[in-house]
Amino acid sequence: MAESIEPIIISVNGTERRLAVERSRSLLSVLRIELGLTGTKYGCGAGQCGACTALLEGRPVRACVTPVSHADGRAVLTIEGLAEEETLHPVQEAFLEAQAFQCGYCTPGMTMEAVALIWQKPRPSELEIREAMSGHLCRCGTYARIIKAIHLAADKMQR
């Protein structure tokens, strides 16, 4: 049980954080409990719902199954770091425009995955969207709206 606690250094939303935490702890727990970044959600703890999605060096990861040590020396972007002050990211704007949520609980994870998708594929097809998003669950059933939001966001980002 006695794990060495050497500090882990992560750039979180552009700010360097030194964290004295167990290396095996999940990135999700560290974000939520140690850093108070509660926009990243717990939905299953097993990589099966996508609610905990954050970007590690620009790639989507399931923070619930990512040991915090994987983020050591790297950059993490969470939903809280997406908007610049009051200006929303185009993906956030698109989700608002399409009203692509009901309870909103899956929204941060969906949003982060969508951001990564558009970075990788600026003009994803509908099938590519379904594929890229397929690891995300929305029990409220807003999938069609999320697909629409991602198309809208891609349009916005082209401009």
CA terminus-to-terminus distance, the chain? 53
Q: Using CA atoms, how far apart are residues 144 and 67, in angstroms rounded to an integer? A: 32
Query: Least CB distance from residue 65 to other proteins, whole Å?
Result: 12
**Coil vs helix vs strand at 80:** helix
> Is 61 among the residues that bind other proteins (CB under 8 A)?
no
Q: Using CA atoms, how far apart are residues 40 and 79, in angstroms rounded to an integer? A: 7
Choose among other proteins, ligand FES, none what residue 62 binds, the Cβ cut-off being 5 to 8 Å by kind: ligand FES
Query: Least CB distance from residue 75 to other proteins, whole Å?
Result: 18
> Is 42 among the residues that bind ligand FES (CB under 6 A)?
yes
Query: Least CB distance from residue 158 to ligand FES, whole Å?
Result: 27
The H or E element that residue 112 is part of is helix 107-120
> Is 45 among the residues that bind ligand FES (CB under 6 A)?
yes
Q: How many residues bind other proteins (CB under 8 A)?
A: 55
Stretch that binds ligand FES, among 36-44, 86-94, 114-122, 126-134 (CB under 6 A): 36-44
> Is 82 among the residues that bind other proteins (CB under 8 A)?
yes
Q: Which two tokens stand for residue 82?
A: 């997406």
The H or E element that residue 29 is part of is helix 27-29
Other CB atoms within a 10 A radius of the CB of residue 100 amount to 26
Out of 17, 23, 48, 72, name the contact with other proteins by CB under 8 A: 48
* Whole-Å CA distances, 3 to 35, 69, 92: 21, 12, 39
Binding interface with other proteins (CB under 8 A): 1, 25-26, 29, 32-33, 36-46, 48-49, 51, 78-80, 82-83, 88, 92, 95-96, 99, 101-108, 111, 129-130, 133-134, 136-147
